[in-house]
A and B are shown apart, each in its own frame.
Chain A
């Protein structure tokens, strides 16, 4: 019983991170119809920026903030310089482009920051909280993870639902031509969308890194889990991405706890295939029919 509770609590924490990462993928997919496979190395690079700052003797929070800002800037630059030319072209071009960026960032990080594993500090305790005389698998940093993701999601909801900027961004994502005719600077909105998505991705990277080891490949599997979570919820649906992330976090945690951690990626693959073959539009997407 205690093992089950701990497994589920671990899954919840992990699920929040996957949800954030899936949300980043969905934000980009909605506006540009591109799955950003480079999201993982983009987040990885910004985590290394944070690590540099923290190892330089500055506070954890300065590094944290710097990574988020770096994510924002990196997302904007990538959209502006690399993605803009392939928008609206054959979808295979964008896929290959983001994979090329994947390889570039990986190699760049290895050249600049080195290829070995390095430990990344956590802002809060990473020992389980004691309830009575048992220790449960919810750490201080785990609670911070859940809160941080919830706060960011809340802010995104506020932005998209209740501000004029958010309305413009949604309009640009849904119908570029009509949005332009209504005075929306579509290019700027897409750049901003990528920047925000990249920021959310960076947050996920920081949360995974906290109290753990980082190296240039530490986020590689996460892009798969984020993608599976996003497809699970429906690639068009931000709310679906969040639910998908939580479901996936819990499922993978169960697989890891009861079957074997080596098979987690295989389980994610199985879930992905099941969703794509049985309910390709995802569990929560409004789109009634979708070609996948």
Chain B
């Protein structure tokens, strides 16, 4: 269980997160929604320690995360998939995947790579290519596959649907859902695409100007016209 308690941080004088509190239960997808600049990306970056938390905490199964170095996240089973695709374009597809496996510690076995290639056949064909040449959708598969190489228990996904065609978004979310069901992953899904995110999420947390304004079951949130219009714009 990922627990965020009264987490606050700021960029200079701007308060980016204000006492954000919510819980992401194990084996569920928790969607974090909200407009641009609501603090969604900052929330993930603060949880994994890329941004310093001013007060409050984020813990996973009792282990405090915000004061732990980002480098240690993979070892704790936490995979942060940053926005902007986050592939290292100067490395090959396979090198990106291997790098994900190294984060867990120890060596990378060939069968682990094969497992990811089975999940994402498109990557298997381009394993020796520089990640530079991949399309947006392929890059998204690569960062997801790379995160899975570390065999995480928690996935923090930042805008995985950004810039992807609706058909690919649907595929991606379907895959995500099956991973959650099969492996019992805990997923924190930051999205602007609220409709798609809520379709696979169990809970929805809506941020506005750095505060939690709604924390509700996903089906309730999607079904409440007033909430939808006020915060999600669909």
A237 → chain B, closest Cβ, in Å?
A: 11
User: With A and B bound together, what is the CA distance between A168 and B71 in angstroms?
Assistant: 12
Task: Label chain A's interface by main secondary structure.
Answer: helix
Contact of B221 with A by CB under 8 A: no
User: With A and B bound together, what is the CA distance between A179 and B100 in angstroms?
Assistant: 9
Give the contact-size bracket for chain B: 20 to 34
Which listed residue, A167, A175, A178, A186, touches B102 by the CB 8 Å rule? A167
Contact of A180 with B by CB under 8 A: yes
B49, closest chain A residue (CB): A180
Which listed residue, B73, B95, B104, touches A181 by the CB 8 Å rule? B73
* Contact (Cβ within 8 A) A183 B72: yes
Contact of B90 with A by CB under 8 A: yes
* Contact (Cβ within 8 A) B71 A178: no
B151 → chain A, closest Cβ, in Å?
A: 12
Which listed residue, A164, A170, A183, touches B71 by the CB 8 Å rule? A183
A181, closest chain B residue (CB): B80
Task: Label chain B's interface by main secondary structure.
Answer: loop
Contact of B82 with A by CB under 8 A: yes
- Chain B residues with CB under 8 Å of A170's CB are 90-91, 95
Give the contact-size bracket for chain A: 10 to 19
Interface digits, A144-183 against B, CB 8 Å rule (1 contact, 0 not)? 0000000000000000000010011011001101111111
B104, closest chain A residue (CB): A183
Contact of A184 with B by CB under 8 A: yes
User: With A and B bound together, what is the CA distance between A114 and B50 in angstroms?
Assistant: 49
* Contact (Cβ within 8 A) B48 A181: yes
Knowing A177-B50, A178-B82 touch, does A183 contact B103 (C-beta < 8 A)?
Answer: yes
* Contact (Cβ within 8 A) B103 A182: yes
B150 → chain A, closest Cβ, in Å?
A: 7
Knowing A164-B107, A167-B95 touch, does A183 contact B102 (C-beta < 8 A)?
Answer: yes
- Chain B residues with CB under 8 Å of A171's CB are 88, 91, 99
Give residues in A with beta carbon < 8 Å to B.
Answer: 164, 167-168, 170-171, 174-175, 177-186
A-B contact pairs, 9 of them (CB 8 A): A164-B107, A167-B95, A168-B102, A170-B90, A175-B86, A175-B88, A180-B69, A181-B79, A182-B103
Known: A178-B87, A184-B102. 16 other contacts (CB 8 A): A164-B107, A167-B98, A167-B102, A168-B99, A170-B91, A174-B90, A175-B86, A178-B88, A180-B50, A181-B48, A181-B50, A181-B70, A181-B73, A181-B74, A183-B75, A184-B71
In order of increasing CB-CB distance, the 6 nearest A-B pairs are: A183-B103, A183-B74, A174-B90, A182-B103, A180-B70, A175-B88
